Chain A
């Protein structure tokens, strides 16, 4: 009872929020997209006041295919065991990157293409460079063509060096390395062969032309701009940034853009103050610019290291980076939520069971059993008193009728009845409240888990992170047509609804007729809501229901025998 009902309560609140976003929120991004183009031109001029060092910000409106754009510019290839792609020599931009271990969907063999060249529709790329006050110094731009010095293919332990000469005695270099996961290190170097001292500000910038197509837009998961600045987590949605540019200053930290499963992050060199800017200017941009310039005397060199993550949000990998590279709170890029301290250990438990059993669905079933065991005594206590209460319901109704107009008398009569029948008081509301974080945690963990992506369960469930693909409206595939998506109500959600119905039957029905109706309607309502949720979650609910029914039924049977 305990667990189940907390969950129902959470689900109800959540479904309000979900419906809210489905009907109220979602049409808005389309409107905004149309407004964007008109406003962006003006903003350009305000920032270019000559006092602030300026980051090159041109975004191409072109729209050619990924294949064509990759052919357009010269590139150096990069590959390790997790990623592959290339770096464009035009601009020295990292703009072609795929995750080798993740397929686009369960049916295809194509891997996820995450970064895309600027000429493509969904351009998403990482730039780094130098800025000067008033753009007086000729620095490399997104159009500059870099030369490769030495090694021509970027692999682990084989860095590449790009070089660009500005034609007036400044030589720029980028020494780019990758490790065996998702980390790029770019060592930017400027050699001043002129006779004047110069000042340059290093920067790095993420540019993304469109909101990702698979944006969930769910209240329980942050997708969009993210930063940890001086140990403080900042999260901004895409539409916040469309409305308003956000500038922050910090002594340490990182900035990035996070998707449900993927991320990019930029990390300035340690010990450097920097300014972080999130803005929309023909494209979504996140950049940092160091506060203090590198002062480069004639005939000397200066350099600056930038770390760039372009990663799949694998928990262990991200945690290892946070520790090894000493990047503060990088692990927060995985949105564990408020109940971080529950969610994360829970994840490790499920992941352990997954590795042990080899099936994520079985891991979910096992963790559900374990949770039931933890709450077993609490639930038993509650079921016992509930069972007695149910037996006393006719008597309660009689008392209510008797003391219709006097609440206090009624309360006293009920208390006296409890005493007479020796009923333990119910478990109270605090035990319920305590469990809310816990159940929110398991829910959230299953919702965000990259590890559950494309993991099969038994039978027709080929991907636990996707909703149950079967539907009752074509008799689970017997009839040869596919109903519209809102009518896809699969076997697991229906099982969930049925088990919930049975479970409810074991509880005393509410006395208020309206409440009783809501109560009856609830399993149906939740079946429809859960139909579109990751099937892993529905499996969890169903198993939890069955276990609850078993426990409650067992206790009830015993108690009833005693009271009669």
Chain B
């Protein structure tokens, strides 16, 4: 219960970010789906803890320095459900 409320709040914050902050930052996404999309999907799919960990890991990858784990390209939330629904 508490977790789902928290997830709801985080999703709201992501929406706020999408509308008010993201446009100001300009085009900066290395990944598709974007980090904000990735985080919302992963929180909805995997819940607060696992979804949160996935989201953090994603953000930690979102930079150009390869030796520190930087990556880019298409990077979907690791979930069969997501893949089957969206990809096939």
Binding site for B on A (CB under 8 A): 1, 5, 8-9, 12-13, 381-382, 386, 389, 407-408, 411-412, 414-415, 424-433, 507-508, 510, 512, 514-516, 518-519, 522
Chain B residue nearest in CB terms to A430: B63
Residues of A within 8 A of B31 (CB): 428
For the complex, give the distance between the alpha carbons of A518 and B18 in Å: 12
Are B20 and A415 in contact, with the CB atoms below 8 A? no
For the complex, give the distance between the alpha carbons of A507 and B22 in Å: 13
Query: DSSP class of B's interface residues: helix, strand, loop or mixed?
Result: mixed
Are B26 and A1 in contact, with the CB atoms below 8 A? yes
Residues of B within 8 A of A519 (CB): 23-24
Query: DSSP class of A's interface residues: helix, strand, loop or mixed?
Result: helix
Tell me how far the C-beta of A143 lies from the nearest C-beta in chain B, rounded to whole angstroms. 55
A-B contact pairs, 29 of them (CB 8 A): A5-B24, A5-B26, A8-B21, A8-B24, A12-B24, A381-B64, A386-B26, A386-B27, A386-B28, A389-B27, A407-B86, A408-B86, A411-B32, A415-B73, A415-B74, A425-B73, A427-B64, A428-B28, A428-B62, A428-B70, A428-B72, A429-B28, A429-B29, A429-B35, A430-B62, A432-B28, A507-B26, A510-B23, A515-B23
Q: Mark B1-31, 1 if CB is under 8 A from A, else 0.
A: 0000000000000000001111111111111
B33 at interface, CB cutoff 8 A:
yes
For the complex, give the distance between the alpha carbons of A512 and B73 in Å: 23
For the complex, give the distance between the alpha carbons of A259 and B31 in Å: 47
B44-83, CB < 8 A from A: 59-64, 70, 72-74
Neighbour of B59 across the interface among A381, A415, A429, CB < 8 A: A429
Residues of B within 8 A of A381 (CB): 64
Residues of A within 8 A of B64 (CB): 381, 424-425, 427-428
For the complex, give the distance between the alpha carbons of A463 and B60 in Å: 42
Are B29 and A428 in contact, with the CB atoms below 8 A? yes
Listed residue (A382, A430, A431) with the most chain B CB atoms within 10 angstroms of its CB: A430
Are A431 and B63 in contact, with the CB atoms below 8 A? yes
For the complex, give the distance between the alpha carbons of A389 and B29 in Å: 11
Are B21 and A9 in contact, with the CB atoms below 8 A? yes
Are B19 and A12 in contact, with the CB atoms below 8 A? no
Chain A residue nearest in CB terms to B26: A507
Are A408 and B87 in contact, with the CB atoms below 8 A? yes
Chain A residue nearest in CB terms to B69: A430
The answer to whether A430 and B32 touch (CB under 8 A), given A389-B27, A510-B23, A518-B19, is no
Residues of A within 8 A of B59 (CB): 429-430, 433
Residues of A within 8 A of B27 (CB): 386, 389, 426, 508
Residues of B within 8 A of A407 (CB): 33, 86
For the complex, give the distance between the alpha carbons of A9 and B13 in Å: 13
Residues of B within 8 A of A415 (CB): 32, 73-74
The answer to whether A522 and B24 touch (CB under 8 A), given A415-B32, A415-B74, A424-B64, is yes
Residues of A within 8 A of B73 (CB): 415, 425
The answer to whether A426 and B28 touch (CB under 8 A), given A411-B33, A415-B74, is yes
Identify the 7 closest CB pairs spanning chains A and B, nearest first: A428-B62, A425-B72, A510-B23, A411-B32, A425-B30, A515-B23, A430-B63
15 further A-B contacts with Cβ under 8 Å, apart from A386-B26, A426-B27, are A12-B21, A381-B64, A408-B86, A408-B87, A427-B30, A428-B29, A428-B31, A430-B60, A431-B63, A432-B25, A432-B28, A508-B26, A512-B23, A516-B23, A518-B19
Are B74 and A428 in contact, with the CB atoms below 8 A? no
Are B25 and A9 in contact, with the CB atoms below 8 A? yes
Tell me how far the C-beta of B76 lies from the nearest C-beta in chain A, rounded to whole angstroms. 9
For the complex, give the distance between the alpha carbons of A533 and B30 in Å: 36
Chain A residue nearest in CB terms to B28: A426
Chain B residue nearest in CB terms to A510: B23
Chain A residue nearest in CB terms to B64: A427
Chain A residue nearest in CB terms to B73: A415
Chain B residue nearest in CB terms to A517: B23
Chain A residue nearest in CB terms to B34: A429
Residues of B within 8 A of A507 (CB): 26
Residues of B within 8 A of A425 (CB): 30, 64, 72-73
For the complex, give the distance between the alpha carbons of A395 and B28 in Å: 17
For the complex, give the distance between the alpha carbons of A13 and B26 in Å: 17
Residues of B within 8 A of A8 (CB): 21, 24
